Amino acid sequence: SGAGRLCSMAARKVNRHEYAACAQFLEPAKSCSGAAAQLLWRVSVDQGNILDEEEWFVNGDKWEQARALVSIQRTSERINCCVYAKALEDASNLFEALKDKISWREEVMIASLDDSLKPLISSLALREGATQTFEEECFFFSLDEFVPPEALLNHEGAGRIRRLTKEDGEVVDGTWKYRSGTSLSRIQDQIACRLSAGIEDKESGELAAWALEQSSGCIGMVFTQEGYRRKGYAKQVVGTLTADIWQAFATGSCPTAPFAYIVRDNLNSQGLFESLNYKRKGAVCWCRYGKA
């Protein structure tokens, strides 16, 4: 309706006390939208603390009329955004209302951007004289039904499975493909505050494989060291971490079932998660824009 379109053109900042209503808005889409899953996890896990640290905007004065939501985080490096919209028009209206809030001539990273919204975002950036400087295309996987790892994993020959420690951060950071000058401290913070799983080789005692619950709520940084591959270690750490997150989800201390973003040409990782009962739900990308 005309009234609905007028409402969708408005945008307002989400306040801390609204975190539960914000989560309720995202809840229906959490298992099919990579952006909704990430935003729901981030707004819920610390009871809305993120809303004091970032700017989140929704279209419409009332949540029952809301159609789109965007988070805006400003760092010394860039602007980080994540957007969930029920339809392309809703995203377009929200970004139009926020054109003074996002400067596309700064470095802007859009996380977990649904493929259907990418042409819109690219056109907005181009209109402001920015170009795309980075893209990583992924599939969004989530778990609908938990199958206990004991039914899936072969523990014969396994090493010791344990949580990661701060000291493990350097090993994790040293192998991460997105390593940067600030990534080590972020990884150590994630290890300290979030769930993780690592496996020590029973003969060498070396940390052979690991997986982390990342700051967006997803399972990521899955890696097996050279010399320890083809032993099923990756499946063991992902299975263990999946079990821990599912337990937190089942008891209400985690807002989402386990989920992951996997690079589209990484067929081995996709097969690993599918073997643990994850389902592919959508196609997303991480896109960075900056000055031409």
Q: Which of helix, strand or coil describes residue 39?
A: helix
User: How high is the pLDDT of residue 158?
Assistant: 64
User: How high is the pLDDT of residue 180?
Assistant: 85
Q: For residues 224 and 233, what is the distance between their CA atoms, to the nearest angstrom? A: 7
Lowest-pLDDT range of 40-44, 56-60, 103-107, 125-129 = 103-107
207 conformational bin, left if phi > 0, alpha if psi -120 to 50, beta if neither: beta
Q: Average pLDDT, stretch 195-220?
A: 92
Helix axis angle, 19-26 relative to 34-44, nearest 10°?
A: 160
Whether the CB-CB separation of 249 and 217 falls below 8 Å is answered with no
User: How high is the pLDDT of residue 153?
Assistant: 53
- In the predicted model, is pLDDT for residue 199 greater than 70? yes
- In the predicted model, is pLDDT for residue 1 greater than 80? no
Residues 234-256 have pLDDT tens digits of 999 999 999 999 999 999 999 99
- Mean pLDDT of the chain, nearest integer: 91
Residues 4-20 have pLDDT tens digits of 444 445 799 999 999 99
In the numeric block, which tokens belong to residue 150? 């004991």
In the numeric block, which tokens belong to residue 67? 């159609």
Residues 19-39 have pLDDT tens digits of 999 999 999 999 999 999 999
Residues 123-133 have pLDDT tens digits of 999 999 999 99
